[in-house]
Amino acid sequence: MKNPRYAPEFDVSIDGAPIPAALRSSITALSHQSGLEGADRVELSLANENLRWLDEPLLALDKSLELSMGYAPDPLTQVFSGMITGQSATFPSGSAPALTVTAQDRLHALQKGDATRWFALPTPMGNVPLPDVAVGAVVTATHLLVPIFEPVGAALSILLGGASAAASLGDPIAMQKLIRKQAGESDFDLLHRLAQENGWEMTIDHATPPRGYTVRFMSPLDKLSSDLTLIYGLDLIDFTPRVSSVGQVAGVSATIWVPEILMEFTVTLGYDWDRNALTLSVLPGFGLSSLVEGAVEAVATAAGITAASLNLIEEPVTLVSAPRLILSRLIPMLNERLTGSGSSVGDPRIQGGTVLRLEGVGETFGGLYRVVSATHALDSGGYRTSFELRKEIWFGSIPPADQGAVAIQGRSVPIGA
């Protein structure tokens, strides 16, 4: 920031125009929530003296709303572009009435209604499945949204799709199973499923034109460098990290039956915390359920992890579905090992997906974190940002010193001294 952050400021626009001064002066508090799950959200709390804002046409449902936040006199940062989706009012007996206006980003429209359809191209040789990148583009386009696929995420999806296609070559039935189907689920649920199975995060871009209409499908591997640094005792107000190996999953296993050779295989994708590397093990079985547990234990031993830390997929898995299914189960579990929550001086740059570099909290808890969710609150107490974080396994490839994760220097005091 060019100037000291003494004067928090915000701007609200509805239907593309700044709100009237009388409405702006009635806003007593506002909050903005962004994250990697669900739709981003804004709440405006209004003092409703003399019930002046009841039935106000400017606050009607489905009106577009934009919010910018920051500090005067610096330019503000647009943090939200969406639609008004709700109102709630209070009429208390001992205080002034109030009105709360709620807005959500345009992903909320994808949650309305269910659909049943499939995504394929008919050819003389049969139906050919659309790649997941094309499926995402088709679904978002039906809601007038612009999809953006980050390079690494798109390449990973093509690689996984290619592996599945290679496994189904020469098998028309297996090829048909590759076709994405939407059976009685919302467009949002379909895109969320695609994102999970391809290792994507799905967010709305509120800052880049067309603001609020761009859906970004990002792989965390696309973004490993820090966006900003927070230092404990300076702009990091508080921080509560949580690290635990209790219940930690180190691998995901699936049993796959290959009918062509009448054999069953146990496939395990694991993670070696010492080497910060993914491990893959494939062991043959005999198609007997009684031997599955023993096979899993053998796989775990071969991978250097305990069978108790393995997660067994208890649903039908084929060579076609295994790569995406195993990956979608393993990565979220691994990213739960080190998490945290905290707050800072209000900063509009902190949004869902932002990479924070935390300093002054030691080597174990310092370094790079991904923002899972962020809440910006501006009221009579000032402007403050709170957030939930996770340290992803991908950050393990970066030396702690390069992350800003430095051990605290000082005289050690023996326990009990």
Instruction: Give the pLDDT confidence of 342-392 residue by residue, as tens digits.
Output: 999 999 999 999 999 999 999 989 999 999 999 999 998 899 999 999 999
Which of the four CATH numbers 3.50.50.60, 3.90.1150.10, 2.40.30.150, 3.40.140.10 does domain 225-244+337-403 have? 2.40.30.150
- CATH 3.55.50, the chain: domain bounds: 113-220
Q: What is the pLDDT of residues 48-90, one digit of tens each?
A: 999 999 999 999 999 999 999 999 999 999 999 999 999 999 9
- CATH 2.40.30.150, the chain: domain bounds: 225-244+337-403
What pLDDT is attached to residue 410?
Answer: 58
8 A C-beta contact, residue 356 and residue 369: yes
Beta strands 382-390 and 367-379 are antiparallel
Arithmetic mean of pLDDT, 8-16: 95
What percentage of the chain reaches a pLDDT higher than 90? 48
At residue 214, does pLDDT exceed 60? yes
At residue 338, does pLDDT exceed 80? yes
Furthest-apart CA pair in the chain: how many Å? 81
- pLDDT band with cut points at 50, 70 and 90 for residue 317: low
At residue 406, does pLDDT exceed 90? no
Tell me which of 39-53, 117-131, 156-170 is least confident.
156-170
Arithmetic mean of pLDDT, 239-250: 72
8 A C-beta contact, residue 320 and residue 174: yes
Q: Which CATH code for domain 8-105?
A: 2.30.300.10
Helix (H, G, I), strand (E, B) or coil at 53: coil
| Segment holding 136, helix H or strand E | helix 132-141
What pLDDT is attached to residue 253?
Answer: 72
Arithmetic mean of pLDDT, 205-229: 91
At residue 168, does pLDDT exceed 70? no
CA distances from 159 to 25, 117, 135, 282, 392 (A): 54, 25, 16, 19, 22
What pLDDT is attached to residue 39?
Answer: 87
- CATH 2.30.300.10, the chain: domain bounds: 8-105
What pLDDT is attached to residue 348?
Answer: 96
User: Distance from CA of residue 413 to its chain's centroid?
Assistant: 41
What pLDDT is attached to residue 321?
Answer: 65
Average pLDDT, whole number, for the chain?
83
- Residue 18 corresponds to which tokens in the numbers above? 């700044």
What pLDDT is attached to residue 156?
Answer: 74
Which residues does residue 280 pair with via DSSP β-bridges, in sequence order?
269
Tell me which of 22-31, 190-199, 267-276, 296-305 is least confident.
296-305
At residue 107, does pLDDT exceed 70? yes
Specify the higher pLDDT residue, 358 or 178.
358
Specify the higher pLDDT residue, 88 or 293.
88
| Segment holding 120, helix H or strand E | strand 115-123
Tell me which of 10-19, 188-197, 245-254, 274-283 is least confident.
245-254
At residue 37, does pLDDT exceed 90? no
Arithmetic mean of pLDDT, 115-122: 88
8 A C-beta contact, residue 119 and residue 180: yes
At residue 174, does pLDDT exceed 80? no
Distance, CA of 243 to CA of 253 (rounded, Å): 24
- Residue 110 corresponds to which tokens in the numbers above? 């994808």
Which residues does residue 377 pair with via DSSP β-bridges, in sequence order?
31, 384
Distance, CA of 39 to CA of 352 (rounded, Å): 11
What pLDDT is attached to residue 351?
Answer: 96
Specify the higher pLDDT residue, 220 or 5.
220
The top-scoring range by mean pLDDT among 159-168, 189-198, 266-275, 277-286 is: 189-198
Arithmetic mean of pLDDT, 242-259: 68
Beta strands 146-149 and 214-218 are parallel
What pLDDT is attached to residue 342?
Answer: 97
At residue 186, does pLDDT exceed 90? yes
What pLDDT is attached to residue 291?
Answer: 45
Per CATH, which fold does 113-220 belong to? Answer: Phage tail protein beta-alpha-beta fold (3.55.50)
